[in-house]
Amino acid sequence: MCEALGRGEQCILLRKGGIAEGPAGFGFRYTEFFLLPTYFHEQVEKTRLVRAEAPAQRTGEIEIKFFVKLETSAVLREWATASALESFHVLQPEVVRERFEHDEAPGIHVAFVRVFRLTQPWIIPELRACRGCRSWVNLPALPDDAGREAVLSDADHEARLQRFRSVISEPAPAG
């Protein structure tokens, strides 16, 4: 999923929540964060990608290549709305449906994000906190010289954001 976001093939995150979320459940807690590549749930057959290849894993290290800014988020309670977001992600429809219907409260969290590629990959030691099914992990300090570039142009990003807002029926902010 990180690679699809980094290629501009996906611009939303769909989350139900992880096992380790605790009693409060899942929520997009931050408006800016790094994408931590995980391979625990990265199953290529759950995507619609033709050229889906898993990046090489590093032993004892994690390579972080992408930073995101959350533009807007919502909890979708209607399957028709969640289904209408297919052009914004690479997951198979049945995977989204399974996540949507999981547990006694149907629905799914969605976030529209702006993705940035780090100009140099950030290599950190594999942290114990990164193992398992977690949504949020505290990371060491980012190097001072870390730069980033937007994956999509401003115009392409804005066009997708407007389409996304029309699908979820969210008005554009004033101003």
- For the chain, give every domain's residue range: 2-168
- In the prediction, which pLDDT does 155 show? 98
Q: What is the pTM of this model?
A: 0.80
- C-alpha distances (whole Å) from 59 to each of 40, 80, 124, 125, 149 are 15, 42, 11, 9, 27
Phi-psi region of 8 (alpha: psi -120 to 50; beta: other; left: phi over 0): left
Q: Could you give the 3-state DSSP secondary structure of residue 117?
A: strand
- In the prediction, which pLDDT does 142 show? 75
Per the CB < 8 A criterion, the answer to whether 107 and 77 are in contact is yes
pLDDT at residue 9 is higher than 80: yes
Residues in a beta bridge with 125: 61
Q: Provide the pairing of β-strand 32-35 with 148-150.
A: unpaired
